[in-house]
Amino acid sequence: MTTKFTKEHEWAKLEGDTVTVGITDYAAHQLGDVVFVELPAKGSKLQKDKVFGTIESVKTVSDLYSPVTGEVVAVNDNLENNPALVNEEPMGAGWICKVKMANPSEFDQLLSEADYKKICD
């Protein structure tokens, strides 16, 4: 399983033709305590690089950008009652949604971990 990244600080983990999407450790740390995640609706269509939701910390509101184009096949309902999961495990239990890709080649265009890390430094 490969994980890739966007310059907007999302990660995408590939499983078949579906990616799991979340925000990176770096982004979660920068945001601080997450208090609300506006999740996309299951079945909704996401466009690569377009806003698909928002994430709020105590202090700020940030947009979420989709790393790929496709259909939302699952959302992390646990975030409704426990948005702090995004801080605790941004790359694990704090995932946001799963997207079935319309065009799997889009995944290859995302940033490698090494290239993403350069952005954060």
What is the contact surface with other proteins in residues (CB under 8 A)? 32-33, 35-36, 38, 54, 56-59, 61, 80, 87
* Cβ closest to other proteins, residue 69 vs residue 87: 87
Comparing CB distances to other proteins, the nearer of 20 and 24 is 24
Where on the phi/psi map is residue 65: left (φ > 0), alpha (ψ -120 to 50), or beta? beta
CB 106 within 8 A of CB 53: no
Q: How far is the CB of 105 from other proteins (least distance, A)?
A: 32
CB of 86 to other proteins, least distance (A): 13
Least distance to other proteins from the beta carbon of 83, Å?
9
Both tokens of 28, joined, read 């979660």
Q: Parallel, antiparallel, or unpaired: how do β-strands 97-101 and 3-5 relate? A: unpaired
Q: Which residue carries 């790393």 as its tokens?
A: 67
Structure tokens belonging to residue 61:
């509101």
The nearer residue to other proteins, 41 or 73, going by C-beta atoms, is 41
